Amino acid sequence: MIRVLVYSGDPKLQPLLAATLGGECQVNVQPEADRLKAVLSNGQTDVVLLDLDANYFDVEEQAKLYEEIAPADASVVAMADDESRSAATELVQNGVFGYCRKPPAMREMRALIRRAYDHAMMKRELESKRRSELGTFEPTSFDGLIGSSAPIKRVCDLITRVADLNASVLIIGESGTGKELIARAIHNLGSRAKLPFIPVSCGAIPETLIESELFGHEKGAFTGSTGTRMGYFEQAGAGTLFLDEIGELSLLTQVKLLRILQQREFMRLGSNRPIPLKARVILATHRDLGQMVSEGKFRLDLYYRINVMTINAPSLADHPEDISILAGHFLRKYSDAYSKQVTSISPSAMQILENYDWPGNVRELENVIQGSIIRTDGDTIWPQDLPEPLQDRDPVALNGDYPKLGSFERLLRDYKVKLAMKAIEDCNGNKTMAARSLDISRAYLHRLIRLSGQVDTADVA
């Protein structure tokens, strides 16, 4: 039995739908928005039907209602006459499963409700499988590292293993993946937590100043040095020194760094007095050091010296299931920082975020949420509040391909293919009608057909 919840003020709609859908569906018509939300909260609905009829409701207000209800485990279908068709089309673009004409054709209505039901069942199955893959691990903040995915769990496990060791750690990963957060977590969870943590971006220091900045200098060590200065190695004391972007160091500086790590001592410029290195050194880079070694740009002996314990900071593309968790974290963080009461991200905006490939990784996501909070005028982030390059972005439609397939992404692909093939069957093989019923392009439908493994022949319009 398909449980259909209808939001409509049309008193003739209940008997019409009951006759159209027959014994296959249980129809519940609600003319009040508050009552609709209450019924949805019980989780006893498979398909929601929004009646966009200007005779009974304000169409724009009802279209906005979708963003408020947008049930996670049910499919939404819009029903529109000629006057409200544009509103229905916009809803489909924002995540509504589909729409039909009013008054509805019986065969079209039955087929659409069945496909919407299949879609809802597949969503529930996907969510169940996703949760089983994640096990009982709940979304957490592990000393600043936020997520519940397997890659983040692996990083957290390695952090706990090395936190109390005195060995050097090399963190590798793309820009924006949180390499400094990982270094801080190692420091904070170890025995040095109450001692200094000194982060240094090697790429931001001019070559002429790098040795003075790292090792310090005595008065008169070079032109312009009017006093003694402690370098970063000395400032770190017995705490942690985090050297970021070590791939930017010159070969000469690499030689001196290697000696310091081996001898556990250094000297200020202009001095011959060795200073013991008491700090733990954590290093990081976004570059491929192995490739740099083969090109003669990074010393092999230094590479072997620092590549004892390596932690890979995963790109956001490697754990997309954490996008919603991270977005919620940044939403709370910057809403408080800007004293704005932005409390949620609309389902359509979240879908855009989850479909984006995030070349700038977590840092880019943080910047997007931060800017969206500034742009929005209400308590919710909508698609129009996102940066223009992200709006209405669909990586499948744009690139003609699917993202890398893990188990969850494969299930997602398979259910899209299943829905496409079911639509073709319901339309008696007419692909033009099938694409129209799904509100997708013919080209997109043909890509799904090819993924199904069936021969994609031309059809008759």
Of residues 254 and 55, more confidence is placed in: 254
Same domain, 199 and 98: no
Is 160 in the same domain as 248? yes
Q: Identify the pLDDT of residue 71.
A: 61
C-alpha distances (whole Å) from 313 to each of 142, 165, 174, 240, 408 are: 14, 19, 8, 19, 21
Residue 459 domain-assigned (yes or no) = no
| 453 pLDDT more than 70 | no
Q: How confident is the model at residue 196 (pLDDT cuts 50, 70, 90)?
A: very high
Name the pLDDT band for 370 (thresholds 50, 70, 90). Answer: very high
Among 316, 345, 367, the domain boundary falls at: 316
Q: Are residues 125 and 68 in the same domain?
A: yes
Whether 429 maps to a domain, the answer reads yes
- CB atoms under 10 Å from CB of 396, counted, come to 16
pLDDT of residue 394: 44
More confident residue, 415 or 303: 303
Q: Does residue 260 carry a pLDDT above 90?
A: yes
- Looking at the fold, whether 38 and 89 belong to one and the same domain comes out as yes
How much is the pLDDT for 436?
79
Is 145 inside any structural domain?
A: no
* Residue that has been written with the tokens 């339309």 in this structure: 427
**What confidence score (pLDDT) does residue 459 get?**
43
Q: How far apart are CA 375 and CA 387, in angstroms?
A: 9
The band of 302, judged by pLDDT with boundaries at 50, 70 and 90, is very high
CATH code where residue 218 lies: 3.40.50.300
Average pLDDT over residues 237-262: 93
pLDDT at 149 (0 to 100): 85
Q: For 308-387, where are the E strands, in sequence order?
A: 309-312, 344-345, 380-381
Give the domain-ending residue among 316, 341, 361.
Answer: 316
Q: How many CB atoms lie within 10 A of CB 207?
A: 11
Q: Is the pLDDT of residue 93 over 70?
A: no
Q: Is the domain of 309 the same as that of 323?
A: no
Lowest model confidence (mean pLDDT) among 62-71, 256-265, 299-308, 437-446: 62-71
| Domain count across the chain | 4
Are 274 and 362 found together in one domain?
no
Query: Is 143 inside any structural domain?
Result: no
Residue 216 scores a pLDDT above 50: yes
Same domain, 179 and 294: yes
pLDDT tens string 147-161:
888 888 889 888 988
Mean of pLDDT over the chain: 80
Domain span including residue 414: 397-452
